[in-house]
């Protein structure tokens, strides 16, 4: 670490002719701006236009230009309904509670397909939902124009977000890697009653109910009344949505880490 | 005659009230009143996951979001006993220094506009936009980044970022010359600002004033150097100090700090180019991983696996010395979060540097304090 | 061209229309409608209406000009959307203000509150009847037109103070106080600088002053007077760096804090009318009015309305200078402003007067040339 400096000593910009320096500076900027001011005439030009995106330009009088990394912008969501698995992770991870899972056609009557519906009046564009989405079907796009005349129009239904998906906007290419050793779904076997609720509701169908041997009744003890099956989680397919934990009637599933 | 400057007044740059007692044009007494922008961020934080609190940190000080994210993340990593990868630390420090430039440019824009000059306002905003472009290129947002995570940062820099950032730094360091010509080179500016709002170093210490105000009084105190946190010990930079203790001194200190920030960022970009690696810690609690799921029925697991703790951090925020205190009781939410806002202390001391000056001096003096009401009221 | 004054044009128009109306009317009405007094009266009204329209349009275009110039100084474009390059933006703004509700604070004094802006606008507008825009505009009508113009110009602090006081607001009152102090302080050097011009040209008539600049414009030999005049004009027009009566940083909007809608539009219009008058006075007194130097090719000065054209070009360029100053200087403080006004500007303007007297004595000054014949 070098010696600290005094800012006053470094600056030698003293006035010449009272106001000559600022006036010359302003005039120089005037001459530069006559050619091309830095502003973008918004409704007619946009930052996502090719002329701003093709190259990053920082030159005199023209300091704007995000370039292709503009695509990282976190704007309105796009939702691919076809690949959505109704795992609820987006709704859970939303800090503003603006995501509601609503039924969309396509599921079977017993287990309706549910996709996120986002209220942009509450959304803070933090991107936690698209980070959490295990299938990559909920992404954020570069679309940023949201003005509507009614508050109810701020609520984007899954179909509307699917429409945005079909526009094929640049979609937030930064993908967040999943942590190397995540917690897994673990089972507390004595509590399980083999009710199949977890396997039934698992959005990725990664839980299979395997038969277990029915123990012999010991003297003085009753054999517990249950279905003699136990869930086994296929860890590579599991998206860690926690649905099985939530539906388990006996609270025998929990998060843990065996590694 | 008492007049209320605020809560809605062009001088306030936010939402607070400065009651001033004047005799003609001379200030006899003043009384800053804060609390109009209280959003209960500390209380809301007790109800959020550790990572979700980051969304609130961006809104704590809306012109220095990265600094507050870094502050909170340092404290909660301290409380959770998590060590981030070194590359993540470098990226965070780069964010913080870019944020210092952005915040000081915002200050420059607002401060010179208080003097009645609109031109630097637009120059400052134009050049701040370049910094925001850089932020957007890797975090995806221009003001509310939500980029840092407990245990690292969300993602690595995109390809080509380094060259883009270097070009932006070149552009910015040229602009600072222009700023100095517009302000220091103007006789009217010097007449307005020299010897204005003097707050001596002893008064600064007595009232808890920190940051550029303290350094403009000739006191060489900077948390980055005195109690180095993060990777600052590895970086070479100088602490800007002026001796006027007045508005011009604060201007000089902030301008010099921006130049030093550019110097720091250049070193960090060099380091980042040669040290690829992970940006998120390996063994994180599940609810801290970037895609995290709800916590359900697992309290006993948490309390078994993760030790409790208390985290304290202190950083040199653009406005001064900020501190955070996070209590971890072993759940997925912080048990208590408390911040120390530098601006709160700086504007609370208004009586020490306003009395005796004129009404027309209030905007430049309060502008030189760099008020950010978001972090005052929290 | 020189004979076609604005008044004669309007008299001709009124006379023409009334004669034709009179020719179809029955006998007693016919004589009444073509009588000379009625024609003269109507001609004055038409003259005023044309002047009002022209000055209002010019003022609004002046605001557009300032916005565009300021935009380029600030690395942006200024108004862009309404009309070509935003030319109609200010008309739209004015129309919006016109449609807005005019209200006053309950505790405000209604007479002062409403009469202040109106009188301010009217007095600012009246000056346009005095200023000659082109040769023969109102030549010989007013031998003391310069004095009259400046006298009306200096009414403003009174009306500003009335409206500031009557709006019953602390900020307004402070703004009004500042305004009054500043205008009175800068009235003196402004008039002394004008005295220098009057000494050299030997006349109070603006038309004569312009014709006295046929050999050389006064800005060269009377440069000191020009500097003092421009500085004083900036203070009189309340523009940056001397806009502290409406210093928006500390006084919200100064003396027009409580005004909205059409009354605010009155203030805004009157401010820019005064800015236009200031620019016109600089052109008339120092930049040769509508005349052009002899080296300018005659094709550029002989087309129809060339005098008005060059006059407007000069006026807008002078206003551009004010915009340039606004774009590069911060606002000064009240005490500094008054100190500069009394301690610097008045001695400087006295020097300018002495220099003018010396110029008159010397008759010829290198490199400018000789004075034209003295005399009124």
Angle formed at CA B249 by CA B23 and CA B109, multiple of 5 degrees: 80
Tokens 């909205």 — which residue? C260
The mean pLDDT value of chain C amounts to 83
A211 shares its domain with A156: no
User: Which band of pLDDT confidence, cut at 50, 70 and 90, is reported for residue A53?
Assistant: low
Q: Which carries the bigger pLDDT value, residue B305 or residue C216?
A: C216
Q: CA-to-CA distance for A55 and C52, rounded, in angstroms?
A: 52
Q: Which carries the bigger pLDDT value, residue A1 or residue C238?
A: C238
Looking at the predicted structure, is the pLDDT value of residue A58 above 60?
A: no
Measure Cα distances from C279 to A59, C145, C305 in Å.
37, 16, 20
A162 shares its domain with A93: yes
A86 shares its domain with A159: yes
Q: Closest Cα of chain B to C343: distance in Å?
A: 16
H helix intervals, B61-216 = 65-80, 86-114, 119-139, 161-183, 187-193, 201-207, 212-216
> Shortest CA distance to A74 belongs to which of A142, A17, A6, A147?
A142
DSSP per residue, chain A: ----EEHHHH-----STTTHHHHHHHHHHHHHHHH--S---TTTS-TTSHHHHSS---BTTB----GGGGGG---SEEE-GGG-----HHHHH-TT--EEEEEEBTB-SSS-EEEEEEETTT-----HHHHH-SSS-EEE-S------SSGGGGEEPHHHHHHHHHTT-------PPPPTT--EEEE-GGG-----HHHHH-TT--EEEEE-PPPPPPTT-PPP-S-SEEEEE-TTT-----HHHHH-TT--EEEE---
Could you tell me the fold of the domain covering B2-377?
A: Cytochrome-c3 Hydrogenase; chain B (1.10.645)
CATH number of the domain at A155, please.
Answer: 3.30.70.3270
Cβ distance of C328 and A32 shorter than 8 Å: no
Nearest chain A residue (CA) to C322? A23
Q: Which of A97-111, A155-169, A171-185, C296-310 has the lowest mean pLDDT?
A: A171-185
Note down the domain range covering A245. 184-215+225-256
Tokens of B221: 């105190």
Chain C residues near residue B10 by CB distance under 8 angstroms? 248-250, 252
Q: Is residue C256 part of a domain?
A: yes
Tokens of B4: 């209320």
Tokens of C22: 């009179």
Domain count, chain C: 1
pTM, rounded to two decimals: 0.87
Cβ distance of B167 and A56 shorter than 8 Å: yes
Cβ distance of C252 and B9 shorter than 8 Å: yes
Looking at the predicted structure, is the pLDDT value of residue B325 above 90?
A: yes
Kindly state the average pLDDT of the residues B228-245: 87
Q: Is C331 exposed, middle or buried (0-12, 13-18, 19+ CB in 10 A)?
A: buried
Q: Is residue C283 part of a domain?
A: yes
Cβ distance of B286 and A69 shorter than 8 Å: no
Q: Is residue A129 part of a domain?
A: yes
Kindly state the average pLDDT of the residues B122-145: 86
Looking at the predicted structure, is the pLDDT value of residue A231 above 60?
A: yes
Give the pLDDT score at A63.
Answer: 46
For a pLDDT cut of 70, what percent of chain B falls above it? 94
Note down the domain range covering C221. 107-370
Give the pLDDT score at B360.
Answer: 85
Cβ atoms < 10 Å from Cβ of B368? 28
Q: CA-to-CA distance for B154 and A131, rounded, in angstroms?
A: 9
Q: Is residue C82 part of a domain?
A: no
Q: Which carries the bigger pLDDT value, residue A88 or residue C195?
A: C195
Q: Is residue A175 part of a domain?
A: no
Whether A5 and chain C come into contact, CB under 8 Å, resolves to no
Kindly state the average pLDDT of the residues C48-59: 86
Q: Closest Cα of chain C to A5: distance in Å?
A: 29
Chain A residues near residue B185 by CB distance under 8 angstroms? 13-16, 20-22, 25
Looking at the predicted structure, is the pLDDT value of residue A9 above 70?
A: no
Q: CA-to-CA distance for B133 and B125, rounded, in angstroms?
A: 12
User: Which band of pLDDT confidence, cut at 50, 70 and 90, is reported for residue C320?
Assistant: very high
Cβ distance of C329 and A22 shorter than 8 Å: yes
- Helix (H) / strand (E) element for B3: namely strand B2-5
Whether A38 and chain C come into contact, CB under 8 Å, resolves to yes
Tokens of B78: 């301290």
User: Which band of pLDDT confidence, cut at 50, 70 and 90, is reported for residue A60?
Assistant: very low
H helix intervals, C167-260 = 170-201, 206-212, 223-237, 248-251
Whether A171 and chain B come into contact, CB under 8 Å, resolves to no
Q: CA-to-CA distance for B81 and B330, rounded, in angstroms?
A: 11
Cβ distance of C244 and B118 shorter than 8 Å: no
Residues B199 and B350: beta-carbon distance below 8 Å: no
Give the pLDDT score at C318.
Answer: 92
Q: Which of A2-16, B217-231, C27-41, C196-210 has the lowest mean pLDDT?
A: A2-16
Q: Is residue C78 part of a domain?
A: no
Cβ distance of A41 and C327 shorter than 8 Å: no
The interface predicted TM-score (ipTM) is: 0.83
Chain A residues near residue B129 by CB distance under 8 angstroms? 63-64
Give the pLDDT score at B268.
Answer: 92
Q: Which carries the bigger pLDDT value, residue C211 or residue B352?
A: B352
Q: Closest Cα of chain C to A34: distance in Å?
A: 6
CA terminus-to-terminus distance, chain C? 23
Kindly state the average pLDDT of the residues A242-248: 79
Residue range C283-301, pLDDT digits in tens? 988 888 888 877 778 777 7
Q: Can you tell me whether residue B280 is helix, strand or coil?
A: strand
Provide CB contacts within 8 A for B27, sequence distance 6+: B20, B21, B354, B355, B356, B357, B358, B359, B361, B362
Q: Closest Cα of chain A to B280: distance in Å?
A: 8
User: Which band of pLDDT confidence, cut at 50, 70 and 90, is reported for residue A221?
Assistant: confident
Whether A6 and chain B come into contact, CB under 8 Å, resolves to yes
Chain B residues near residue C252 by CB distance under 8 angstroms? 9-10
Cβ atoms < 10 Å from Cβ of A18? 15
A155 shares its domain with A231: no
Domain count, chain A: 2
Q: Is residue C3 part of a domain?
A: no
Nearest to A37 among C75, C325, C328 (CB): C75
Phi, psi of A47 (to 5 degrees): -65, -25
């Amino acid at each position: 670490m070098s010696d600290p400096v005094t800012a006053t000593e470094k600056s030698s910009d003293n006035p010449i002719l009272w106001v000559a320096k600022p006036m010359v500076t302003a005039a120089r900027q005037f001459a530069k701006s006559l050619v091309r001011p830095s502003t973008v005439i918004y409704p007619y030009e946009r930052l996502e236009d090719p002329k701003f995106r093709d190259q990053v330009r920082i030159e005199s009088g023209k300091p704007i230009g995000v370039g292709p990394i503009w695509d990282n912008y976190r704007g309105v969501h796009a939702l691919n309904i076809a690949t959505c698995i109704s795992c609820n992770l987006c709704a859970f991870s939303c800090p503003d509670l603006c995501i509601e899972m609503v039924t969309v056609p396509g599921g079977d009557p017993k287990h309706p397909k549910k996709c996120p519906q986002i209220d942009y009046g509450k959304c803070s564009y933090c991107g936690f939902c698209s980070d959490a989405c295990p299938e990559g079907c909920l992404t954020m796009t570069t679309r940023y124009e949201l003005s509507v005349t009614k508050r109810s129009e701020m609520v984007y239904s899954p179909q509307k977000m699917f429409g945005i998906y079909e526009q094929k906007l640049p979609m937030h290419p930064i993908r967040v890697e999943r942590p190397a050793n995540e917690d897994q779904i673990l089972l507390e076997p004595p509590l399980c009653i083999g009710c199949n609720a977890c396997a039934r509701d698992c959005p990725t169908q990664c839980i299979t109910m395997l038969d277990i041997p029915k123990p012999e009744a010991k003297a003085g003890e009753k054999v517990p009344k249950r279905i003699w099956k136990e869930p086994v989680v296929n860890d590579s397919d599991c998206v860690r949505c926690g649905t099985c934990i939530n539906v388990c009637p006996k609270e025998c599933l929990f998060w843990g880490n065996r590694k | 005659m008492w007049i209320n400057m605020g809560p809605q007044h062009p001088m306030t740059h936010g939402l607070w009230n400065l009651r001033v007692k004047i005799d003609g044009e001379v200030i006899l007494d003043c009384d800053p009143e804060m609390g109009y922008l209280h959003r209960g961020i500390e209380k809301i934080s007790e109800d959020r996951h550790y990572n979700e609190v980051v969304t609130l940190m961006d809104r704590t000080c809306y012109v220095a979001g990265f600094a507050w994210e870094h502050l909170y993340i340092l404290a909660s990593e301290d409380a959770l006993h998590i060590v981030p990868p070194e590359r993540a630390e470098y990226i965070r420090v780069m964010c913080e220094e870019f944020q210092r430039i952005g915040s000081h440019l915002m200050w420059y824009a607002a401060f010179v506009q208080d003097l009645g000059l609109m031109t630097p306002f637009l120059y400052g905003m134009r050049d701040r936009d370049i910094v925001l472009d850089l932020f957007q290129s890797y975090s995806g947002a221009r003001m509310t980044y939500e980029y840092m995570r407990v245990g690292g940062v969300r993602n690595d820099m995109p390809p080509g970022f380094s060259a883009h950032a270097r070009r932006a730094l070149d552009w910015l360091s040229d602009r600072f010359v222009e700023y100095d010509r517009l302000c220091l080179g103007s006789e009217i500016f010097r007449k307005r600002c020299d010897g204005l709002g003097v707050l001596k170093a002893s008064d600064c210490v007595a009232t808890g004033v920190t940051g550029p105000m303290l350094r403009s009084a000739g006191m060489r105190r900077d948390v980055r150097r005195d109690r180095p946190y993060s990777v600052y010990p590895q970086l070479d930079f100088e602490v800007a100090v002026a001796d006027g203790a007045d508005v011009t001194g604060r201007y000089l200190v902030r301008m010099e700090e921006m130049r030093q920030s550019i110097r720091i960022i250049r070193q960090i970009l060099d380091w980042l180019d040669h040290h690829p690696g992970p940006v998120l810690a390996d063994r994180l609690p599940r609810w801290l991983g970037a895609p995290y799921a709800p916590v359900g029925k697992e309290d006993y697991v948490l309390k078994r696996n993760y030790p409790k703790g208390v985290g304290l951090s202190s950083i040199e925020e653009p406005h001064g010395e900020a501190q955070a205190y996070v209590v971890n009781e072993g759940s997925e939410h912080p048990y208590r979060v408390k911040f120390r806002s530098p601006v709160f202390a700086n504007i609370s001391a208004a009586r020490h540097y306003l009395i005796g000056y004129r009404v027309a001096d209030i905007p430049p003096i309060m502008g030189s304090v760099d008020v950010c009401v978001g972090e005052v009221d929290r | 061209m020189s004979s076609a004054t604005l008044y004669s044009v309007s008299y001709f128009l009124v006379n023409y229309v009334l004669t034709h109306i009179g020719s179809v009317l029955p006998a007693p009405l016919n004589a009444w409608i073509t009588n000379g007094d009625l024609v003269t009266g109507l001609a004055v009204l038409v003259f005023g209406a044309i002047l009002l329209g022209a000055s209002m349009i010019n003022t609004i275009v002046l605001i557009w000009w300032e916005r565009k110039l300021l935009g380029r100084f600030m690395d942006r474009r200024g108004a862009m959307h309404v009309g070509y390059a935003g030319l109609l933006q200010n008309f739209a703004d004015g129309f919006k203000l016109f449609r807005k509700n005019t209200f006053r604070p309950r505790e405000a004094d209604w007479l002062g509150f409403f009469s202040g802006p109106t009188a301010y606008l009217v007095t600012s507008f009246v000056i346009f009847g005095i200023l000659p825009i082109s040769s023969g505009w109102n030549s010989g009508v007013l031998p003391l037109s310069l004095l009259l113009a400046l006298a009306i110009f200096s009414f403003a602090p009174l009306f500003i103070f009335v409206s500031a006081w009557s709006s019953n607001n602390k900020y307004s009152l402070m703004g009004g106080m500042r305004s009054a102090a500043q205008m009175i302080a800068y009235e003196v050097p402004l008039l002394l600088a004008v005295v220098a011009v009057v000494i050299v040209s030997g006349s109070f008539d603006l038309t004569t002053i312009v014709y006295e600049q046929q050999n050389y414009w006064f800005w060269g030999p009377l440069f000191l007077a020009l500097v003092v005049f421009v500085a004083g004009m900036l203070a009189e027009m309340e523009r940056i760096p001397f806009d502290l009566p409406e210093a928006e940083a500390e006084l919200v909007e100064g003396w027009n804090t409580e005004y909205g809608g059409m009354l605010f539009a009155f203030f805004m219009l009157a401010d820019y009318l005064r800015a236009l008058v200031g620019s016109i006075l600089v052109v008339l007194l120092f930049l040769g009015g509508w005349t052009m130097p002899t080296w300018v090719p005659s094709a550029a000065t002989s087309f129809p309305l060339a005098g008005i054209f060059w006059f407007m070009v000069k006026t807008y360029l002078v206003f551009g200078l004010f915009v340039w100053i606004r774009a590069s200087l911060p606002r000064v403080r009240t005490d500094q402003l008054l100190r500069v006004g009394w301690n610097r500007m008045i001695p400087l303007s006295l020097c300018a007067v002495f220099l003018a007297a010396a110029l008159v004595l010397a008759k010829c000054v290198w490199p400018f040339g000789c004075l034209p014949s003295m005399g009124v």
